[in-house]
Chains A and B, each alone.
Chain A
Amino acid sequence: MSPPRLNLGGWRLGALLMLLAGLVSAASAQTTAESETLLVGLKAAYVYKLTSFIDWPADEDRAFVIGVIGAPRVRERLDELEQAEKRRGDRPIRIQAYAGPADITPCEILFVGEAAADSLPAIVRHLAGRPTLLVGDIPGGAGRGLAIELFRKPDILRRAERLRLRIDPKALADRGLVVSAQLYEVAEVLP
C-alpha cells in the first residue's frame, strides 16, 4: 500500500505561496517597525548628547530649548528628557515643537525631520545669524543648511546599520558654534 500522495494543484500551490509571502512580509514589517523605533530613540539620544560636545556663544537667561520640526516621533522621545527634568548646566531643557518655519522661536538646537525637508531653506533663512544648531536626518542635509546630519551607515562587521554624524564646519562657524574635537573624531566632516 503506497502512502497517500499530496496532490497540490496549481491554485493550491499558488495560495500556499501567497500565504507564506504574507507571513514573511508581516514579519519583515514588524522587524522594520522595531528598527525604526530604535532609530528614532537613537536620534533623540544623539541630539541630547550633542549638548555635551558643543559650546554656544553665551548662555541665555532662560531654559535650554530643543526645537523639533517635521519629526513628531523624535519630539515624543525628546519630551521624555523634559519629563525627566534633564538639565544642561544650570539650565533646564525644554522641548519645543514647531509647525512651520514661521513658528520657530529662539532655540539652541533645532531638529529638522525628513518631513520638513522642503522647508529647510526657509528655516535656514529664518535662523540666519542665530546660534542655533541645526540637526536633522534629511539625507544630504549637511551642505544644505544642516550643521550636523544624522545618517545611517551599514556596519559590515556587526551586520547592522549604525547612526553616524556628518558635520558641516562652515554651517557651524556661520552660527558661531564651537564643536569638540572629540565630535570631529567620530563624525564625517564635509570638506
Chain B
Amino acid sequence: MKPRRRTSIRRRLLWLSTLVSLLTLGVAGGLFMVHDLGMLRRQMVRDLEVLSAVVGDSCLGALAFDVPETAEKILMNLRHEYQIRQAILYEATGQPFARYQRDPEPAPDAPRLNDAGVLVDVSVFGLGTVEVRRDLILDDQILGQIVIQARTDELAAQLRRYTRIAVLLLLATLAVSLTLAWRLQRRIADPIQRLAARTREISVAGNYAPRPALPEADDELTDLYLGFNAMLDQIERREQDLERIRASLEQRVAERTRDLDILVREQRLMLEALPLGVLHLVERRVVRINPRVTELFGWSTSEILGSSVAPFYADPADFAEVGRLGYAHMSAGDVYRTDRLLRRKDGSCFWGRLIGQAIDPSDERLGSLWILDDIDLDKALERRLQQALDERSQQLRAANRELRQANDRLRRLAMEVSLIEEREKRRLAGELHDSPMQKLNLAQMQIASAARRRDSESDRLLEVGQELMREALQELRTLQFELSPPVLYQGGLGAALRWFARYTTGRFGLELDYVESSTLPAIDTDLAVVLFQSVRELVYNLIKHSGAGRGRIALLGDAESIQVSVDDDGRGFTPAALDGLTSGEAGYGLFGVRERLSLWGGALDIETKTQGARVTIRVPSTLRTRS
C-alpha cells in the first residue's frame, strides 16, 4: 500500500480556503455566464423571429403575384445584418422562390409547412448557427415559408469576453485568498500544530505529565486544549487502572495456564494408561490418538496420523456402513456404538467395540472422538458360551428325545405289564379251575354223598374227599408260591431261585439246575423281587418256546454287580427274533424284563450258543434303589 503523503493542517487549511473561494467564484461565474449566454441567445432568436416576420410579410405580395425579383430585392435588405448567413423564400410547393446568401452556404432543409398559423422553428447548432422558419400565410392560405439562418458570432465573442474576465477574476481571487488565508490560518493552525506535536511526544515517550500551555485567545481552540488536558488526565487514570488490571490478568492467566498444564498432563496420563484406544477423527482421518491405538493395530503413530481409517476395517463394507450409520447418529447428537472386525498391520483381525460421538454436532469440521475397545476375548467367550449353549441344547433335545422314547417304552411296559398280569390271571384262573376247583367240587360231592349214605362207604368217600381237599390245598399253596414265594422275603433271592428251580423241575419236567457264587452281596428286597420275576419270566419263556430239556440258573455277584444267567439246551434264538427283542416289537416278555431292569440300571444280554441260548441279567450292586 502506497503511503499517504503527509500534509500539514496549516497547508491544508490554506489550500482548502483557496479552493473554496475559487470554486465558489467559478460556480457563480459559470452560472452567470450560462444565464447571460442563454439570455443573449434567446434575444438573438427573438430578433430573428421579428426579422423573419417583417421580411416574410414584405414578401407576401411578391409570392402572391409571382414576382421573385421583388422578393429577392427584399431579401437583399438582410445584407445589413452581418450575422445573417442566408435567407430563402420557398413557395407553398416547396420550390425555392427567392434566395439571399452572404457566402456560398449549404442549402437548408426543405420547408415543413403547416396547415395554418405561424410556426417559429428554432434550431441551435451549438454556438454556430441559429435557424428560424416562418410560414407565410395570406387569408388563411399558406403561400410559402421563409427560412433565415444566422451566425452566432456574437455569442462566441461574448463567451470569449466572459472567459477572459473569469480568468482574471480567478487569478485575483487566488492572490487575495492566499494572502488572507496565510495571515489568518496562523491563529488557528499554530495551536493545532503545537497540540499535534505534543500528541506525538506523548505517543512516543508515553509521558502524560507535561500539559501543553493554553493559547492566548479564548475560543474553541482553548476549549480544545482544555479538553485535551482533561483527556490526558483521564488517560493517565485509565493507564493506571489498565496496569492494575493487566497485572491481575497476567496472574490469572498464569494460574489458569498452570491448571491447564496439569489438566493436560492428567489427560495425557489417562489416555496413555487407558486400556482403550482413543482416536480424534476429522473427515474420517486420524488427527490424534493415544498409545493404545498403536498397540491395538500395530501401526506406528506417524503411520496412523493423517491417514484414513479405512485400512483399520477388515471388511471395506464395514467402513462404508460405519460412515453411513455412525455419522448419521453423531450428526443428530447421539452416541454411536458398534462392534466391528478390525485388521491389524500384520493382517490379523480382532473384534473391536467402537463408540463415537461428534465433538459438536452442529460443526462437523471439529470432527469426532472415538473409543476403541478390544473385545476379541469377549467375543471368544461369547462364541464358547454360544457353543456350550448349542451343545447343551442339543443334549437337551437328545434327552427330550430319550425321554419321549422312555415314555413310549413305559407306555409299552405298562401295556406289557397289563398283558402279563392278564395272562397270569388267566393262567391262575385256569390253574384254579383245572385242579383245585375240580378237586374241591369233587371233595364236596364225596363228602355230601358220605353224609347221605352214612355207611361203610361213607368213610371211604370221606377219605377220598379229605385227600382231594389236601391236594387242592397243596396246589393252592403252590400257586401262592408262584405268585409270591414267601421264601423270597424270608430266605432271599438265592433261596427263592433254588426253590423255583426245584419247582420247575417238578412241575414242568425241565431239568433246571441252580448255582450261585459265594461272594454274593446283600441284595435289596425290591431288587430281589425284580430279579426273581425276571428269571421266572425267562424260564417260562424257555419252557414255552425253546423246547429245551435241561437248563441252569446261575446267580453270581460281587461288590460291583449282580449277575443272573439262565442257560438252556433248546433251539436258541433266530436273528429275526433277536432284532425283535432289541426293538421291543417281538413278544416273549423279554422286552418287559429288559425295561424293568433298565429302571435299576441293569441290562439284559442274549447269547445264542451252538445248542441253546444264554440270557444274562446284570445289575449294579451299588445301585440298589431306583434312580
Q: Measuring CB to CB, which residues of chain A are less than 8 angstroms from any residue of chain B? A: 46, 49, 51-53, 88, 162-165, 180, 182-183, 185-187
How far, in whole Å, are A52 and B139 apart by their CA atoms in the complex?
A: 7
Residues of chain A with a CB closer than 8 A to B73's CB: 185
Q: With A52-B138, A52-B139 in contact, do A183 and B61 touch (Cβ < 8 Å)?
A: yes
Q: B62 to A52, Cβ gap below 8 A?
A: no
* B residues in contact with A88, CB < 8 Å: 139
Q: List 12 A-B contacts (CB under 8 A).
A: A46-B65, A164-B65, A180-B61, A182-B57, A182-B58, A182-B60, A182-B61, A185-B58, A185-B61, A185-B62, A185-B70, A186-B67
Further 14 A-B residue pairs, CB within 8 A, beyond A49-B138, A162-B66, A186-B70: A49-B65, A51-B139, A53-B64, A163-B65, A180-B61, A182-B57, A182-B58, A182-B61, A183-B65, A185-B61, A185-B62, A185-B73, A185-B74, A186-B64
Which positions 61-98 of chain B face chain A at CB distance < 8 Å? 61-62, 64-67, 70, 73-74
Chain B minimum-CB-distance residue to A150: B65
Give complex CA distance A187, B138 in Å: 18
> Which B residues touch A49, using CB under 8 A?
64-65, 138
Chain A's nearest CB lies how many Å from the CB of B70?
Answer: 5
Tell me, in angstroms, the Cα distance from A186 to B98 when the chains sit together. Answer: 14
Distance between Cα atoms of A165 and B73 in the complex (Å): 17
| Smallest CB-CB A-B distances: 9 pairs | A182-B61, A186-B67, A186-B61, A49-B64, A186-B65, A186-B70, A185-B70, A52-B139, A186-B62
Residue among B58, B61, B64, B65 with the most chain A CB within 10 A?
B65
Complex alpha-carbon distance, A165 and B66, angstroms: 11
- Rounded to whole angstroms, the CA-CA distance of A165 and B58 in the bound complex is 17
Main secondary structure of the interface of A (DSSP, over half): mixed
Neighbouring B residues of A53 by C-beta, 8 Å: 61, 64
A165 to B62, CA, bound (A): 11
> A88 CA to B139 CA in the complex, in Å?
8
How many residues on the B side are at the interface (Cβ–Cβ under 8 A)? 14
Name B2-58 residues within 8 Å CB distance of A.
57-58
CA distance A162 to B67 in the complex (A): 9
Measured in the bound complex, the distance between the Cα atoms of B59 and A183 in whole Å is 10
- Closest chain B residue, CB of each to CB of A180: B61
Task: Give the distance in Å from the alpha carbon of A182 to the alpha carbon of B54 in the complex.
Answer: 12
Cα distance A186–B69 when bound, in Å?
9
Q: Determine the chain A residues whose CB is within 8 A of the CB of B62 once the complex forms.
A: 182, 185-186
Give chain A residues whose Cβ lies under 8 Å from the Cβ of B64: 49, 52-53, 186
- With contacts A182-B60, A185-B74 taken as known, whether A165 is within 8 angstroms of B139 at the C-beta atoms is no
Query: With a CB–CB cut-off of 8 A, which chain A residues contact B74?
Result: 185
In B440-464, which residues have CB < 8 Å from any A CB?
none
Cα–Cα, bound, A165→B60 (Å): 15
With a cutoff of 8 Å between Cβ atoms, the chain B residues found around residue A163 in the complex are 65-66
Q: A182-B58, A185-B74, A186-B70 are in contact. Are A165 and B65 (CB under 8 A)?
A: yes
Residues of B within 8 A of A46 (CB): 65
A-contact 0/1 string along B136-160, CB 8 Å cutoff: 0011000000000000000000000
Query: CB-CB < 8 A to B70: which residues of A?
Result: 185-186
Q: Which residues of B contact A165 (CB under 8 A)?
A: 65
A62 to chain B, nearest CB (A): 20
Measured in the bound complex, the distance between the Cα atoms of B73 and A46 in whole Å is 21
In chain B, residues 343-399, which have Cβ atoms closer than 8 Å to a Cβ of chain A?
none
How long is the Cα–Cα vector from A165 to B61 in the complex, in angstroms?
A: 11
Cα–Cα, bound, A183→B138 (Å): 13
State in angstroms the CA–CA spacing of A57 and B70 once bound together: 28
Name the B residues within 8 Å of A182 (CB-CB).
57-58, 60-62
Please give, as numbers and ranges, the residues of chain A lying within 8 Å of B57 by CB-CB distance: 182
Q: How far is the CB of B137 from chain A (nearest CB, A)?
A: 11
Q: With a CB–CB cut-off of 8 A, which chain B residues contact A185? A: 58, 61-62, 67, 70, 73-74
A162 to B62, CA, bound (A): 13
Output the least CB separation between B54 and chain A (Å). 12
Chain B residues with CB under 8 Å of A186's CB are 61-62, 64-65, 67, 70
Question: What's the minimum C-beta distance from A56 to chain B, rounded to whole angstroms?
Answer: 15
Give the Cβ gap from A64 to chain B, nearest Cβ, in Å: 12
**From residue A148, how far is it (CB to closest CB) to chain B in Å?**
11
In the bound assembly, the distance between CA atoms of A124 and B70 in angstroms comes to 31
Task: Report Cα–Cα, A69/B169, bound state, in Å.
Answer: 80
Which residue in chain A gives the minimum CB-CB distance to B143? A49
Docked pose: A180 CA to B67 CA in angstroms:
15
Task: Provide the residues of chain A in CB contact with B61, threshold 8 Å.
Answer: 53, 180, 182-183, 185-186
Contacts of A52 in B (CB 8 A): 64, 138-139
Q: How far is the CB of A93 from chain B (nearest CB, A)?
A: 11
Most buried by B among A52, A88, A182: A182
Q: Whole-angstrom distance between the alpha carbons of A182 and B61 in the complex? A: 5
Minimum C-beta distance from A147 to chain B (A): 15
Q: Which residues of A contact B60 (CB under 8 A)?
A: 182
Residues of the B chain whose Cβ atoms lie less than 8 Å from the Cβ of A183: 61, 65
Nearest CB of A to B101, in Å: 18
Whole-angstrom distance between the alpha carbons of A162 and B139 in the complex? 24
Q: Distance in Å from the Cβ of B345 to the closest Cβ of chain A?
A: 122
Q: Which residues of B contact A164 (CB under 8 A)?
A: 65, 67
CA distance A186 to B61 in the complex (A): 7
**Minimum CB–CB distance for B59 against chain A, Å:** 8
A53 to B67, CA, bound (A): 15
Q: Once the chains are docked, how many angstroms separate the CA of A182 from the CA of B136?
A: 14
Residue in B62, B66, B74 with the greatest tally of chain A CB atoms within 10 Å: B66
Nearest residue (CB) in B for A183 is B61
The answer for the CA separation of A26 and B396 in the assembled complex, in Å, is 154
* Nearest chain A residue, comparing its CB with the CB of B59: A182
Q: How far is the CA of A162 from the CA of B73 in the complex (A)?
A: 18
Min C-beta distance of A48 to chain B, whole Å: 9
Whole-angstrom distance between the alpha carbons of A88 and B141 in the complex?
12
CA distance A51 to B140 in the complex (A): 13
Q: Name the residue among A49, A51, A53 with the largest chain B CB count within 10 angstroms.
A: A49
Q: How far is the CB of A47 from chain B (nearest CB, A)?
A: 11
